[in-house]
Amino acid sequence: MIIRPRRLRQNETIRNMIAETAVNSASLVYPMFVVEGEGVKEEIPSMPGQFRFSIDELLKEVATFSEIGLKSVLLFGIPDHKDEMASAAYDDDGVVQRAVRALKANFPDLYVITDVCLCEYMSHGHCGVIKDNDVDNDPTLELLAKTALSHAVAGADMVAPSDMMDGRVAAIREKLDEAGFTNTPIMAYSAKYASAFYGPFRDAADSAPHFGNRKTYQMDVRNSREALHEVELDIEEGADIVMVKPGLAFLDVLRQTAEISNVPVAVYNVSGEYAMVKAAAQNGWIDENAIIRESLIAFKRAGADIIITYHAKEALEKGLVG
């Protein structure tokens, strides 16, 4: 035999030398949940190792990031008050707005991304204004745009609409530009599926819908061409980054998105994926560190530029990236 691929697998040095895929700290974004109150650091039962933080505790947690090289967070707010117009979502004194101001005042180099959705703030748990037992798309756009602007005013570096309303990227871009925030980028949840992998998140954010489901606005898990259509529409409307969510069960969609997109591509390694790894590890069924590393590499190999993952902190602490 002349051709022997195993020649380049003989030791770790040569394997590292020719590795096609690498994950670095700059590509990781850590999702965090912020709540009202003081002194709150409450572990989420279905997501071991993840917490709901009050703003003071959030600052303590973020203070540890410089030691491990974590540079970016994605903030989700959990308000005390909910109503049918999600008024706490765009309140200048809302929990996310105050958290953003505190983070940027204390950690000016931290890159703060805010999730723009209404489900955590709506009394009914859906992602928009309800009419005839369904989310009414166009009236919801104004609330989303107001929310994104309030985040930008507070100091958010980037806004990330996750609602899956038609036209929301254009509505947010117009609102931001009118207010002078032309340099605030939008990371759109472009291909967000109506997935069973979100269960633990809905516990964490108290955002489960009180009736029906989200299948009239989130995508059908059976479709991939439709996902590419959504990605193309978001880019046309001004999205600076597009996202595929969930991650592991939709690596094919992630690959297809990376192939057609002329903007950076993000992937969300969601709560259910995280919880399954944690549960299996707690039972001693898997090598947790190896699984985390392999999953992150899979996202990069499939074409992700940015990985949003609850594993971000531990991956850096344990040296699982690189």
Active site residues: 192, 245
Residues 74, 31: contact at Cβ < 8 Å?
yes
What's the CA gap between 46 and 252, in Å, rounded? 27
Which residues are paired to 114 by β-bridges? Answer: 75, 159
| 146's tokens | 């107001």
Question: What values do phi and psi take at 54, rounded to 5?
Answer: -75, 170
Helix (H) / strand (E) containing 257: helix 251-260
Assign 197 to helix, strand or coil.
helix
| 181's tokens | 């925030």
172: Cβ contacts below 8 Å, ≥ 6 apart = 116, 144, 145, 148, 149, 159, 161, 186
What's the CA gap between 175 and 124, in Å, rounded? 26
